[in-house]
Amino acid sequence: MLLSALLTSVGINLGLCLLYCTLYSILSKQPSNAKVYASRSVAAKEAPAETNGFDFERLLPTAGWVRRAWQPSEDQLLSVTSFDAVVFIRIFIFSLKVFGFGGIIGVFVLLPINFQGTQLEEDYSDSSYMSLDSFSISNVNDGSKWLWVHFCAAYIFSAAVCYLLYDEYSYISSRRMAHFYSSKPQPNQFTVLVRGIPVLSGSSGSETVDRFFTEYYSSTYLSHSVIRRTSKLQRLTSAADKVYRTLARLKSEKDPQKRFKRDGLFGSKVDGLDHYGKKLDDLEDTVRLEQSSLAGKEVSAAFVSFKSRLAAAIAVNIQQGTNPTEWVTEGAPEPQDVHWPFFSSSFIKRWVSKLVVVVAYAAVIILFLIPVAIVQGLTNLEQLETWFPFLTSILNLTVVSEVITGYLPSLILQLFLSLVPPIMILLSSMEGYISFSQIQKGACTKMLWFTIWNIFFANVLSGTALSELDILLEPKEIPGLLADGVPAQASFFIAYVVTSGWTSTVSSELFRLKPLIFSMIKRLFSGNDGDEFEAPSIPYHKEIPKILLFGVLGITYFLLAPLILPFLLVYCCMGYLIFRNQLLNVYAPKYETGGKLWPIVHNSTIFSLVLMHIIAIGIFGIKTLPLAASLMIPLPILTLLFNEYCRKRFLPIFKSYPVECLVKKDIEDQSDPSMDAFYDKLRTAYEDPVLLPIQRRRSRDGYNSPLLPR
Amino acid sequence: MLLSALLTSVGINLGLCLLYCTLYSILSKQPSNAKVYASRSVAAKEAPAETNGFDFERLLPTAGWVRRAWQPSEDQLLSVTSFDAVVFIRIFIFSLKVFGFGGIIGVFVLLPINFQGTQLEEDYSDSSYMSLDSFSISNVNDGSKWLWVHFCAAYIFSAAVCYLLYDEYSYISSRRMAHFYSSKPQPNQFTVLVRGIPVLSGSSGSETVDRFFTEYYSSTYLSHSVIRRTSKLQRLTSAADKVYRTLARLKSEKDPQKRFKRDGLFGSKVDGLDHYGKKLDDLEDTVRLEQSSLAGKEVSAAFVSFKSRLAAAIAVNIQQGTNPTEWVTEGAPEPQDVHWPFFSSSFIKRWVSKLVVVVAYAAVIILFLIPVAIVQGLTNLEQLETWFPFLTSILNLTVVSEVITGYLPSLILQLFLSLVPPIMILLSSMEGYISFSQIQKGACTKMLWFTIWNIFFANVLSGTALSELDILLEPKEIPGLLADGVPAQASFFIAYVVTSGWTSTVSSELFRLKPLIFSMIKRLFSGNDGDEFEAPSIPYHKEIPKILLFGVLGITYFLLAPLILPFLLVYCCMGYLIFRNQLLNVYAPKYETGGKLWPIVHNSTIFSLVLMHIIAIGIFGIKTLPLAASLMIPLPILTLLFNEYCRKRFLPIFKSYPVECLVKKDIEDQSDPSMDAFYDKLRTAYEDPVLLPIQRRRSRDGYNSPLLPR
């Protein structure tokens, strides 16, 4: 790619960013868009009264939102949002530190050295036709002594990143502990999920659970609720709820005309109140019937609650029954987080479905190589011309070729990538996770490796050796192969950072283009739809892999093409501000995992470092500096040892809480008079809401607002 | 190797075996050899009175010992020895089942097919010059349809072995549970070892431990004993004990003349009683001085005992402190099993020493290739002749060449191998294990992989590709390489089974050649040495890898050269009888791990199966049957999945006991009146014996026999 093409891309994207920011600044001030840009306050019913009066100030773009996003301290952010959100923002802070340090070395030390080289023998007379490759390590002459600077830079940078990693892991784990200490008693701290209950014929699952835990946890066992298959009932109750809400809206309708509706397309008009009232009564009868018939449909799994956190931890951490595939326990999720479209209580079924998911995941990764190959074709214009000769005349236009090489590829990748997260969520839920948070975490890891493989490796290798993919079976070849392929794709990835990083973040995150259009269409066609509104939650499984991919790019290209780092720094600053803004205004936390996502970030960074080292080994080999290549080998080993140390030092903190914390909190609770009320709540916390009597559930969920007496 | 050479080797070894058995039968009846052949009854002081009268029957070889070894049932064996010994014997039973099933298919189905082939085009006219290779798969013609029989045999055999593995794992784990249920309260069930105690300045380790466990285990904490550095004190007390025993012997001496000894070589005779009495007093004073000064030399580690098994399990299974590298817990070994030449309480030191051990282990494995190469040279006589031309005339003698190819190589390997176990014990103890049982288990695993690598792979690969060792870096080449090398070494391994399996087992195990010679020399020079005698314990780390290597050979050669199986069956029968005999008469159990060695056997068998599959893939490739090679690929995958299932189904049972068992036993104890006495014993069980007052320790260890009033 030429420098001019990069500049074109930067120009286009800067323009788009500014445009989106300006539009955001204006649109977010319009009360009609509050649901899009201030979902949290709308959902919490704190939104300002919707005044339709015209206000000139609303049409002026201002940067006030930047200040408001910047100002709150981390503690304020924590109190308003969740600990997960704080950890999410820490990813940007961590990336800023890494890219800041790397950027200084890269731009002021490595870049001049690369540019001095004459390996590529370019014509520098016209700087606009200068290839970006002259800023990369490929331009340094073979065997040049300057490469030792790169060698030192690799060691210094790795040491700095490891220090930052340690620092951040330590900071986040201490915050996690502090957050646990300051937390109120929560049902999930006292509860475990038990699967594989060996129910004997002639006794019910409920009795079996009761007998087991009364015997072995005599002093701490509180209660349990056996799980039942309720998918049919769930459909029925959600249908009933929908009718109930429509009825409620009709009742509050001031204009009696609007209460009438046509029965069918050409039928006579009927009173909506009567019609829906009858329908609701029918549905509720069916629900009651189904509820009573469900008593027998037990699954051999149950939520078991204890009187202390320590007892729950014992149940989770120590094998319960003599057969390890029975009485399998795990920590319960928060009651509102329970979600299991593919729940299975049998050990062997879950194991088989995990294997199936692994195979399906591999299939998705392999099938995705097809769109990637198309994108790759677009950056190699010559190849495209040989494939489609009739395009030659169009492709020879400078503007077209620059747009195609600079912008189109990332756009197409973007499009295909947006299809993947739902697939990953599906795969993760098939694995048998019991909560949405776990499904999202699983999908996050899957997305991460998918992204790294399909964006990074597929692009790097398809340029050099897609047909020779089986060379990967020969591990000795890998460093050379990567050293060949990775620098060649530097310009593609710089363009990728600019289009996918800058514009997509601003447009899809800050401006919320899709929700905005969706909300406009909705308002046009259906009008206001009452108090059904719920603030969206942040899709960690989409966002974190995106950010981490930029981390991989930044760390691997630090040595090869440091020009990428300033662009990444800009991205991180933008991301930091925008996501703070969105977390404060748009996304409501749905669950709290206590920062369990951080280990994913840590592992990904370690992976990037080792990848960078392997490429460096290959590069020094290619550049005929075998001594440097050999001296590079200890670096990945040291990095992996550092990672191993961190796994031992910090990872257990993210898995479960230690006895020290649990007992301290338990002792605190003993002197708390409100614990009895909490235990009462705990007894019913994990009952399936669809099994509750209809009135009780509605009053619990807040449907039965004083507006609607029945 | 020719058939005649094999027959020579079988003849020699059968003769040796018979000779050893006859000698054993005679020698074991001599009362003077009781310490060698009936160590257990001697140590337990049940040995029959030593009558020096001549008895003709004693000189007749009889087979009574075989009947006595065969008769006891498994339960009787368990009551007399330990559960570990029962598990050890189960290895032979399991091997017998596997080789029995494999032998029937191999000898009656595969062997005739192999022999029918004409690939090697041999001259069958003189059967004594027939090469063993004509019985191996190498003789089957390329592309022959008969190879599909081998294909089916691989599937059937793998399924049968997996079934046997499952059956055995299930049997042993149920026995393990039953053994736990029937066990009396034991100190190690109630105790944990805590390392990395964060001692604050100004308080002692003992206080810190007390404060922590009193706070967090208020209802179940019993006592603790902080560990001190006592290596100097141990030297002093063992010196004092030695003097004490000499003194005791002198006192009991009837002949007063013998009590006098020379002071130095030419000094005057002094009364031994006075001399040693003064020496003992001096030593005991020093010991008391050292004991009192040790109070301060605390290590930040302690044994902590609880009132219930469940509390100890909680302390082991759940992280204790907020920092996972502090308050690190593990189950305590039995008090008599505690052994830590390289104990370290610091997390980081232990981690580093583990890394060092890994490196040292790799170095040992690589260095051992040198003797293996020498052995390899002996089997390839032609190569030896080219190396040492002056040997040609000797090597051309038939007898010499047959002895050299048939017997010498295994003998040399045997010699070098006997040096390895002590090295592995050293390496394992450096890893920081806290008990001899753990050290031995670690050494067992190390020995196993060492043996498989250095006996199996080094022999297989040095014949074909020792110089091309780096081909191993290309995983695609491995099946072909093994398929090339493994069948070629069939005759070497058959000879190895006969020499190393048959003769070494009989000579070193049953006949106990080395201890016999040692005991004879001792009796000649020093006479009877009182009651210091202790029965030896079985060196699992030496024996199990040996047996498992034969398992690897049997399973991998089942398909290639089934002729090995009958020899292995004979080995297993001999091993079963001989080891039962030795466990009943010679070896006393030193510790009880509850069968924790079985998972090693299971893993090794799974490894053998997968190795067999990989070789089969290579063989079918070489024999131009690509369809069979491809259809073979699911088999290792299925085997590994089966292994994964077993890991989940059985392995947790071998790691720790479930809550169900622990609580049941704890409840049982509550109604046991002897528990108070047990708790009193428990409080002092883990005190370092050298720190006890001298008299108390001696009376505890039984030194203070009524014979010796002081």
Assess contact for A40 and A587: CB atoms under 8 A: yes
Looking at chain B, which residue has its C-alpha nearest residue A311?
Answer: B314
Per-residue buried b or exposed e for A192-231, using 16+ beta carbons within 10 Å of the residue's own CB: bbbbbbebeeeeebbebbbebbeebbeebbbbbbbbbebe
Q: What is the mean pLDDT of chain A?
A: 84
Residue B294 has what pLDDT?
A: 67
Residue B710 — very low, low, confident or very high, per pLDDT cuts 50/70/90? Answer: very low
Q: Degrees (nearest 5) of the Cα angle B526, B528, B529?
A: 85
Looking at chain A, which residue has its C-alpha nearest residue B644?
Answer: A351
Average of per-residue pLDDT across B384-403: 71
Residue with the bigger pLDDT between A637 and B288: it is A637
Average of per-residue pLDDT across B132-154: 88
Identify all chain B residues contacting A322, using CB atoms and an 8 Å cutoff: 177, 653, 658, 660-661
Looking at chain A, which residue has its C-alpha nearest residue B665?
Answer: A216
3-class SS of residue A111? helix
Residue A627 has what pLDDT?
A: 93
Residue with the bigger pLDDT between B589 and A373: it is B589
Average of per-residue pLDDT across B632-660: 94
Average of per-residue pLDDT across A386-408: 71
Average of per-residue pLDDT across A280-288: 83
- Distance between CA A546 and CA A540 in Å, rounded? 10
Identify all chain B residues contacting A327, using CB atoms and an 8 Å cutoff: 660
Residue A329 has what pLDDT?
A: 93
Identify all chain B residues contacting A656, using CB atoms and an 8 Å cutoff: 318-319
B185-189, B385-389, B493-497: range with highest mean pLDDT? B185-189
pLDDT at position B478 over 50: yes
Residue B163 — very low, low, confident or very high, per pLDDT cuts 50/70/90? Answer: very high
**pLDDT per residue over B167-223, tens digit each?**
999 999 999 999 999 989 999 999 999 998 998 878 888 889 999 999 999 999 999
Whether the CB of B324 is below 8 Å from some CB of chain A: the reply is yes
**Token output for A663:** 């007992």
Question: Among B545, B220, B41, which Cα is nearest to A310's?
Answer: B220
pLDDT at position B269 over 70: no
For B:339-368, CB contacts with A below 8 A are: 347, 351, 355
* Residue from A176, A214, A220, A322 whose CB has the most chain B CBs within 10 Å, to mutate: A322
Residue A704 has what pLDDT?
A: 45
Distances (CA, A) of B466 to B463, B485, B574: 7, 11, 35
Residue with the bigger pLDDT between B439 and A36: it is B439
Residue B103 — very low, low, confident or very high, per pLDDT cuts 50/70/90? Answer: very high
3-class SS of residue A639? helix
* Residue from B176, B319, B320, B355 whose CB has the most chain A CBs within 10 Å, to mutate: B319
**pLDDT per residue over B370-384, tens digit each?**
777 777 666 666 666
Looking at chain B, which residue has its C-alpha nearest residue A349?
Answer: B645
Residue with the bigger pLDDT between A323 and A52: it is A323
Question: Which of A2-16, A295-309, B49-63, B666-680 is predicted with the least confidence, judged by mean pLDDT?
Answer: B49-63
Picking from A318, A648, A651, the nearest residue to B658 by CB comes out as A318
Phi, psi of A227 (to 5 degrees): -90, 140
Whether the CB of A170 is below 8 Å from some CB of chain B: the reply is no
**pLDDT per residue over A252-279, tens digit each?**
766 666 666 655 556 566 677 777 888 8
Residue B181 has what pLDDT?
A: 92
Question: Among B22, B164, B178, which Cα is nearest to B86's?
Answer: B178
pLDDT at position A53 over 80: no
Residue A339 has what pLDDT?
A: 84
Q: Which helix (H) or strand (E) holds A221?
A: strand A221-228
pLDDT at position A129 over 90: no
Whether the CB of A11 is below 8 Å from some CB of chain B: the reply is no
Question: Among A652, A351, A209, A605, which Cα is nearest to B641's?
Answer: A351
Residue A696 — very low, low, confident or very high, per pLDDT cuts 50/70/90? Answer: low
Question: Which of A301-315, A642-656, B239-253, B404-418 is predicted with the least confidence, judged by mean pLDDT?
Answer: B404-418
The ipTM value here is 0.85
Picking from B177, B314, B351, the nearest residue to A314 by CB comes out as B314
Picking from A216, A351, A476, the nearest residue to B663 by CB comes out as A216
Identify all chain B residues contacting A652, using CB atoms and an 8 Å cutoff: 319, 324
Find the radius of gyration of the CA atoms of chain B: 29
Average of per-residue pLDDT across B589-612: 93
Angle, helix A436-451 to helix A598-622, in steps of 10 degrees: 10
Q: Do B660 and A321 touch (CB under 8 A)?
A: yes
Q: How far A320 CA sits from the closest chain B CA (Å)?
A: 5
Identify all chain B residues contacting A172, using CB atoms and an 8 Å cutoff: none
Q: How far A325 CA sits from the closest chain B CA (Å)?
A: 6
Q: How far A621 CA sits from the closest chain B CA (Å)?
A: 18
Q: Do A319 and B347 touch (CB under 8 A)?
A: no
Whether the CB of A198 is below 8 Å from some CB of chain B: the reply is no
Q: What is the mean pLDDT of chain B?
A: 84
Looking at chain B, which residue has its C-alpha nearest residue A350?
Answer: B645
Residue B637 — very low, low, confident or very high, per pLDDT cuts 50/70/90? Answer: very high
Looking at chain B, which residue has its C-alpha nearest residue A472?
Answer: B474
Q: How far B171 CA sits from the closest chain A CA (Å)?
A: 13
**pLDDT per residue over B110-119, tens digit each?**
999 988 888 7
Whether the CB of A659 is below 8 Å from some CB of chain B: the reply is yes
Residue A470 — very low, low, confident or very high, per pLDDT cuts 50/70/90? Answer: low
Average of per-residue pLDDT across B53-82: 83
| Partners of B193 in the β-ladder | B303, B330
Residue B367 has what pLDDT?
A: 85
**Token output for A420:** 């993947």
Average of per-residue pLDDT across A608-612: 95
Residue B318 has what pLDDT?
A: 93
Whether the CB of A660 is below 8 Å from some CB of chain B: the reply is yes
Looking at chain A, which residue has its C-alpha nearest residue B170?
Answer: A323
Residue B677 has what pLDDT?
A: 92
Whether the CB of B399 is below 8 Å from some CB of chain A: the reply is no
Residue A313 — very low, low, confident or very high, per pLDDT cuts 50/70/90? Answer: very high
Q: How far A674 CA sits from the closest chain B CA (Å)?
A: 23
pLDDT at position B619 over 80: yes
Residue B384 has what pLDDT?
A: 65
Percent of chain A residues past pLDDT 70, beyond the cut = 86
Residue with the bigger pLDDT between A152 and B695: it is A152
Whether the CB of B475 is below 8 Å from some CB of chain A: the reply is yes
Q: How far A608 CA sits from the closest chain B CA (Å)?
A: 23
Residue B701 — very low, low, confident or very high, per pLDDT cuts 50/70/90? Answer: low
**Chain length of chain B:** 710
pLDDT at position A280 over 90: no
Q: Do B650 and A324 touch (CB under 8 A)?
A: yes
Average of per-residue pLDDT across B402-428: 80
Average of per-residue pLDDT across A377-385: 67
Q: Degrees (nearest 5) of the Cα angle B625, B626, B629?
A: 95
Residue B264 — very low, low, confident or very high, per pLDDT cuts 50/70/90? Answer: low
pLDDT at position A157 over 90: yes
**pLDDT per residue over B312-369, tens digit each?**
999 999 999 999 999 999 999 999 888 887 888 788 888 999 999 999 999 998 888 7
Q: Do B658 and A474 touch (CB under 8 A)?
A: no
Identify all chain A residues contacting B317, using CB atoms and an 8 Å cutoff: 317-318
**pLDDT per residue over B532-564, tens digit each?**
678 888 999 999 999 999 999 999 999 999 999
Identify all chain B residues contacting A649, using CB atoms and an 8 Å cutoff: 323-325
Identify all chain A residues contacting B356, using CB atoms and an 8 Å cutoff: none
For CA atoms B515, B520, B525, B526, the dihedral sign is: positive
Average of per-residue pLDDT across B614-643: 93
Q: Do B659 and A475 touch (CB under 8 A)?
A: no
Assess contact for A523 and A453: CB atoms under 8 A: no
Whether the CB of A214 is below 8 Å from some CB of chain B: the reply is no
* Residue from B217, B641, B659 whose CB has the most chain A CBs within 10 Å, to mutate: B659
Specify the residue for token string 């590069």.
A619
Identify all chain A residues contacting B474, using CB atoms and an 8 Å cutoff: 473-476
**pLDDT per residue over B503-519, tens digit each?**
877 777 888 888 888 88
Assess contact for B429 and B439: CB atoms under 8 A: yes
- Distance between CA A568 and CA A586 in Å, rounded? 25
Residue A95 has what pLDDT?
A: 96
Looking at chain B, which residue has its C-alpha nearest residue A666?
Answer: B216
